[in-house]
Amino acid sequence: MVSCALKTEHSHFFPKSVSKIVALSISMKILIIEDEVELSAVIQDFLEQEKFLVETAFDYASGLDKISNYDYDCILLDIMLPGGSGMELLAQLRALGKSDSVIIISAKDAVEDKVQGLELGADDYLAKPFHLAELHARVKSIIRRKNQHGENIIHYKSVSLFPDERKVLVGNKELILNRKEYDLFYYFMIRPEKLVQKTTLAEAVWGDHADQADSLDFIYSQVKNLRKKLKDQKAGIDLQAVYGVGYKLV
């Protein structure tokens, strides 16, 4: 593996000084499966600055555990991993029937590797070294292609959610939400009328840091606040509690 997979001829490609690119501004969930810890940390830092929720795995086994148990908007997948191949992980992902978008990031730039990855269901292939700006652009493009049907707006009954602006309207009136309230509400809006477990909500909002917070108590508090705001604005929808399990948007 290469010791550093980012092009460094211009300092503005590093997270600490990067010029802010217009982000998707939504809590999209990214998984980085990369055994090079330093590279993974740089990518994670950069994407978190762009308001993505990022999780990491550093070998085949941890990557398989992540993709088997959780869903992601985009997976950044290295080919050469301790304990197995990224191509095998990609095949496992598709065998599980999952549609998570995948960008292969690899030092292997051979045509046959690109062809194999794309045939296995990868959405894109980015050879190392690469610029963070290019990676960001490709992630945004893939997520937009996956989620955008005409206008990038999510509707449920009288409520409209605008991911690009992090804005929610009830009819024509804006529903004011704080950051975590929005993150939770977005998660419900893309899964209307589906039961979401409290632990899944905590994972969706905090990612790998879920265990570091009193996350379930916080989820309860935020859901309570959301329900009150929806009721006060006569939204006609509710976050229905399923005792001991979780909530669903109805």
Domains by residue range for the chain, with CATH: 11-147 (3.40.50.2300), 154-249 (1.10.10.10)
C-alpha angle with apex 201: 199 to 202, nearest 5 degrees? 65
Task: Read off the pLDDT band of 17 (50, 70, 90).
Answer: very low
- Cis peptide preceding 129, ω within 30 of 0: yes
**The pLDDT of residue 42:** 96
Backbone angles phi, psi at 243, to 5 degrees: -50, 125
> Which residue from 245, 210, 247, 244 is spatially nearest to 227, judged by alpha carbons?
247
**The pLDDT of residue 73:** 87
The sheet carrying 239-242 orders its strands as 196-197, 246-249, 239-242
Residue 178 is classified by DSSP as -
Compare 215 and 248 and report the one with higher pLDDT.
Answer: 248
**The pLDDT of residue 103:** 95
**The pLDDT of residue 91:** 93
pLDDT in tens, 46-59: 999 888 889 999 99
| Joined tokens for residue 206 | 């905090």
pLDDT in tens, 108-165: 777 888 888 888 889 899 988 899 999 999 998 887 777 654 456 888 999 999 877 8
**The pLDDT of residue 113:** 82
Compare 70 and 208 and report the one with higher pLDDT.
Answer: 70
Q: Calculate mean pLDDT across residues 164-173.
A: 88
Backbone angles phi, psi at 165, to 5 degrees: -110, -5
Task: Read off the pLDDT band of 209 (50, 70, 90).
Answer: low
